[in-house]
């Protein structure tokens, strides 16, 4: 808590506003549906009701409340963003530690695989894998993690390569310390700040990628994703010849844009606060 307060005080004005914005998104994701008057899945009024006191953001073509859908989408986007970042961050860090410590054939093989994943555009492959594995939330998290572990792995590897020649590590090895002891006692504390900044950026990437896949119709059709709301809105014929776009398109687009910008500002300030450079 003390470190967070120090981070908040040292952050820029945009960073502080961004933290409040993300706190609001978390609140909406956790408690928004509880305070919403209507369901995000069942029609509650006529189609295309403009924003009013009953429907804060109006309704869509099926008469489903858009505010409830935005709240449900916040929960889904944060869940996928955080869990995909956790999975890729943890897996990538441990892969990088093993590669950096042992080197050899395994290190070369993993680095060449990561080179390929970095060189190939990720979105087309995500689309292919999304079609192959299906549109479930767990599958989306897995697909996103597959294309996101390379960053933490390379960061951890480069850090461990320099750390394993340090005197305190060599002394620990001389007393019989193994990879597990060195990892949790010496390596992880050193790489944690850098991986933490990478984790924040991976959350951003997960949210954008999930919204992109959902917008293309590859998300879970039973869930209310921000990208899926945009997909339904764009698919409605003649939306730009009416006033419907003012609440049906703008609200999910604003939610995605503001959330992504807020996380980007937080990552920038965290990079300065932790004195790391990715």
Q: CATH number of the domain that 115 lies in? A: 1.10.3720
Distance CA 270, CA 278 (A): 11
Domain assignment present for 214: yes
Cβ atoms 254, 10 nearer than 8 A = no
Residue-wise over 217-229: b if at least 16 C-beta within 10 A, else e? ebbbeebbbbbbb
Residue 137, domain extent: 10-38+55-273
Domain assignment present for 5: no
Domain assignment present for 50: no
Domain assignment present for 133: yes
Total tally of structural domains belonging to the chain: 1
Distance CA 146, CA 91 (A): 10
Residue with tokens 């292919």: 128
Coil, helix or strand at residue 44: coil
Reading the chain (278 residues) residue by residue, the pLDDT tens digits are 677 788 888 899 999 999 999 999 999 888 877 777 888 888 888 888 888 888 888 888 888 999 999 999 999 889 999 999 999 999 999 999 999 999 999 999 999 999 988 888 877 877 777 777 776 788 888 888 888 999 999 999 999 999 998 998 989 988 888 889 999 999 998 898 888 899 999 999 999 988 888 888 777 777 888 998 998 888 888 777 777 777 888 899 999 999 999 999 999 999 888 876 65
Domain assignment present for 43: no
Q: What is the pTM of this model?
A: 0.88
């Amino acid at each position: 808590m003390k470190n967070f307060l120090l981070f908040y005080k040292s952050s820029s004005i945009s960073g502080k506003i961004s933290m409040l914005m993300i706190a609001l998104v978390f609140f909406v994701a956790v408690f928004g549906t509880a305070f919403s008057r209507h369901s995000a899945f069942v029609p509650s009024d006529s189609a295309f009701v403009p924003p009013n006191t009953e429907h804060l953001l109006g309704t869509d073509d099926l008469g489903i409340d858009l505010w409830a859908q935005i709240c449900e989408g916040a929960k889904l986007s944060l869940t996928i963003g955080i869990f995909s970042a956790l999975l890729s961050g943890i897996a990538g860090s441990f892969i990088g530690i093993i590669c950096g410590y042992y080197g050899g054939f395994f290190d070369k093989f993993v680095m060449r695989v990561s080179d390929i994943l970095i060189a190939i555009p990720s979105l087309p492959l995500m689309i292919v894998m999304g079609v192959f594995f299906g549109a479930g939330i767990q599958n989306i998290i897995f697909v996103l993690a597959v294309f996101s572990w390379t960053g933490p792995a390379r960061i951890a590897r480069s850090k461990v390569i320099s750390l394993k020649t340090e005197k305190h590590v060599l002394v620990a090895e001389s007393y019989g310390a193994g990879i597990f002891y060195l990892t949790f006692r010496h390596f992880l504390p050193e790489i944690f700040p850098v991986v933490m900044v990478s984790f924040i950026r991976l959350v951003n990437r997960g949210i954008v990628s999930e919204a992109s896949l959902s917008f293309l119709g590859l998300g879970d059709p039973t869930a209310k994703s921000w990208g899926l709301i945009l997909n339904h809105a764009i698919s409605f014929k003649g939306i730009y010849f009416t006033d419907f776009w003012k609440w049906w398109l703008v609200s999910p687009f604003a939610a995605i844009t503001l959330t992504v910008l807020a996380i980007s500002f937080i990552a920038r300030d965290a990079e300065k606060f932790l004195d790391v450079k990715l």
